[in-house]
């Protein structure tokens, strides 16, 4: 075999697909949890405003 020739026994190892999963950092997880918390807080605020609006309309209609 001369210098620069490629041998036929070359093998490229590839990790199994399960090892290719994207593993988020702890900061990504915390950022996601903060987003979910803010979303739930906003939904709670909307629900409270809707409930107060319905109570006010009920009082005004009486």
Is residue 19 domain-resident? no
Is residue 31 domain-resident? yes
- What is the spatial distance between Cα 22 and Cα 20, in angstroms, rounded to a whole number? 6
Q: What is the pLDDT of residues 11-59, one digit of tens each?
A: 555 556 565 567 778 888 888 899 989 888 888 888 888 888 888 888 8
Q: Give the residue among 51, 32, 55 at the shortest CA–CA distance from 43.
A: 51
Q: How many domains does the chain have?
A: 1
Is residue 7 domain-resident? no
- What is the spatial distance between Cα 48 and Cα 37, in angstroms, rounded to a whole number? 16
Is residue 35 domain-resident? yes
Is residue 47 domain-resident? yes
Decide if 7 contacts 13 (C-beta within 8 A). no
Check residue 57 and give its pLDDT. 86
Range of the domain at 52: 24-61
- What is the spatial distance between Cα 8 and Cα 1, in angstroms, rounded to a whole number? 11
Q: pTM score, two decimals?
A: 0.48
Which pair of structure tokens corresponds to residue 38? 């803010």
Is residue 13 domain-resident? no
Is residue 3 domain-resident? no
């Amino acid at each position: 075999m001369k210098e620069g020739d490629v041998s036929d026994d070359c093998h490229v190892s590839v990790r199994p697909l399960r090892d290719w999963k994207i593993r988020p950092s702890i900061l990504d997880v915390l950022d996601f949890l903060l987003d979910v918390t803010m979303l739930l807080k906003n939904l709670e605020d909307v629900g409270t405003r809707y409930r107060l609006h319905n109570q006010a309309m009920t009082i005004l209609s009486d």
